[in-house]
Structure 1
Amino acid sequence: MRGLIEEKIESLTSMKNYPKQLSYSGNLDLLEHLKVSIIGSRKPTPYTKTMTHNLSQALSHVGVCIVSGGAMGVDAIAHAGAGAGNTVAVLPNGLDHKYPAINKKLLSSIEQEGLLLSQFDDDFIATPWSFVVRNELVVALGEVLVVMQADIDSGSMRSAEFALEMGKEIYVLPHRLGESKGTDELLKNGNAKLILDIEEFVAQFTGRKKEVTFNDEFLEFCKTNPTCDEAVQNYPDRVYEAELEGLIKVENGKIFLL
């Protein structure tokens, strides 16, 4: 399904200015789900990649829909970890464009199974200011905002400002000193809470603590360093996703865990 959203979305009333238009493609029912917004660096560390995947997967397993911005890095990993059918990607451009191009396959699968949203005309091409507009909508849709990793002067920190203006709680990961100066600053100023245990974080959205495991048959298979052809033959859909999430690398025709 594709069209314009005519009915007012309650969570978006927290925005400074309610969107003049809101186009969608996909499953609008996801807007009725409990949602968590996950954002962060386009160049996450291996630790951030793993934690983003684990967190979005754990939330998705208990029915929480993941919202992010469709960008490279943390955004793409959060979408993929949630699964295409349980995620909302908010675009900085019109629905006719799949940007960035490296995420075209991911965004197309979200369009088919999940939900794409845009505040722009279908043929609109992303500009610097449209990313800021996109970021505000990402924040507004979520119950809370999770900033996985961020530099001081980054779009993620502007998103954190939106969250503070909207009165939303912000959560961050513990990082090594100097690795994520933006989230360190949020903690220093008392503007964010630490996620020290994924189970405990997820439990606040389920009302009870739920054991969360991350056993992944595909990743176990990758420990044997199979050839790329073997991996694609046995897990045709997982190779691309895992590579996008930064969980594996393909080198000299073989698969390696990161």
Structure 2
Amino acid sequence: MKITEHITELEAMKRYPETLYYKGSIDLLSSPKISIVGTRRPSPYTRTMTYELSKKLSHAGVVIVSGAAAGVDTLAHEGAGAAHTIAVMPCGIHHRYPTSNTALIENIEKSGLVLSQFDPDFSATHWSFVIRNEIVVALGDALIVTEADMGSGSMRSVEYALEMGKKIYVLPHRLGESEATHRLLADGKATAIEEIDRFVAQFGVSVVQKHTDTSFIAFCRTSPTYEEAVLKFPSDIFEAELGGVIEVRNGRIIVV
């Protein structure tokens, strides 16, 4: 189907799309939105933090916008849940790209929103990804880059965000990792997300659940492995897991 209503956020683009096709609920366009992008090969730390960030933002009433690509995009959509995410495609809506994300995209079509400015039968090409990225950035109230290399497609998204005057946020990384986000911080073009709950509270439209930071919770916020947590806090870990205070994803602990 085609979107006939004018989308105010897309006025920030160099050229407003002539046509927009969609599957799903266009009501999501009226919600607060945050764009999340990043590498297709995220580190375990980035995987955990991207998922937690997306999940907590969606619980606070924020819709997550991304491009349905492998890696960070996938984690952003999965963390938010299909009903709270917008996937902007580099191809027509008759295709599901990448094919490895077919099930994810189908779920978003049913419960969330899939958008494309390309004809429905258009197949993705190298240049359509760049065009797709501009819409991803334009729709969000801010842009989060969770991990990126210099010269990557994520950095093209950053260029769009700077041109549009969007606020840019990044995850803090260790030296030698995610060189592009380190450069953004060094150049004063981005702000580091030092504490997820406090960050989410800036954008959320509902109350974000917070946990008192006991020494155990503070330790869990460092994303330790499950084995490390069991060794250090053998009694706390099982109680917190049963109580839904923490989750284990990819072998690492995240605070819910």
Fold in common (TM above 0.5): yes
| 1:188 matched residue in structure 2 | 186
C-alpha displacement of 1:206: 3.2
Match of 2:249 in 1: 247
- Which aligned pairs between 1:86-235 and structure 2 lie closer than 5 A? 86-206=84-204, 210-212=208-210
Q: Deviations over 1:51-100 (max 9, x none)?
A: 00000000000110000000000000000000000000000000011110
The 8 Å contact of residues 61 and 206 in structure 2, kept in 1 or not, is answered as: no
Counterparts of residues 50-61 of structure 1 (less than 5 Å): 50-61=48-59
Q: CA deviation at 1:208?
A: 8.3
Deviates more, 1:202-211 or 1:113-122: 202-211
Equivalent of 1:83, from 81, 84, 94? Answer: 81
Cα deviation per residue 1:205-230 (whole Å; 9 max; x = unaligned)? 13787334699xxxx9xx9xxxxxxx
In the alignment, the residues of structure 2 paired with residue 66 and residue 12 of structure 1 have an alpha-carbon distance, to the nearest angstrom, of 16
The offset of 1:188, in angstroms, is: 1.1
Partner secondary structure for residue 204 of structure 1: helix
Alpha-carbon contact 1:200-1:209 (below 8 Å) kept: no
Structure 2: which 5+ runs fail to align? 212-216, 221-225, 230-246
Match of 2:223 in 1: none
RMSD value over aligned CA atoms? 2.2
C-alpha separation in 2, matches of 1:106 and 1:212: 29
Which residue of 1 is the match for residue 243 of structure 2? none
Q: 1:183 to 1:111 in 2, by over 3 A?
A: same
Q: 1:208 to 1:61 in 2, by over 3 A?
A: closer
Opposite residue 35 of structure 2, the aligned amino acid is S
Q: Contact (CA 8 Å) 1:58, 1:212: kept in 2 or not? A: no
Cα contact 1:89–1:110 (8 A) shared by 2: yes
Aligned CA distance change for structure 1 residues 115 and 33 (closer, same or farther; 3 Å)? same
Distance 1:35 1:207, change over 3 A: closer
Q: Structure 1's 5 and 208: CA in aligned 2 closer, same or farther, altered over 3 A?
A: closer
2:42 is the alignment partner of 1:44: yes
Query: How far apart are residue 122 of structure 1 and its match?
Result: 0.5
Question: 1:68 aligned to 2:69?
Answer: no
CA contact 1:66–1:87 (8 Å) conserved in 2: yes
In structure 1, what is the Cα distance between the partners aligned to 2:210 and 2:144?
18
Work out the CA distance in 2 between the residues paired with 1:193 and 1:178.
19
Q: What stretches of structure 1 of length at least 5 have no aligned partner?
A: 224-241, 249-256
Residue 34, structure 1, aligned to residue 36, structure 2 = no
Letter in 1 for 2:124: A
Residue correspondences, number: 222
Deviations 1:168-189 (A, max 9, x none): 0000011011110111111111
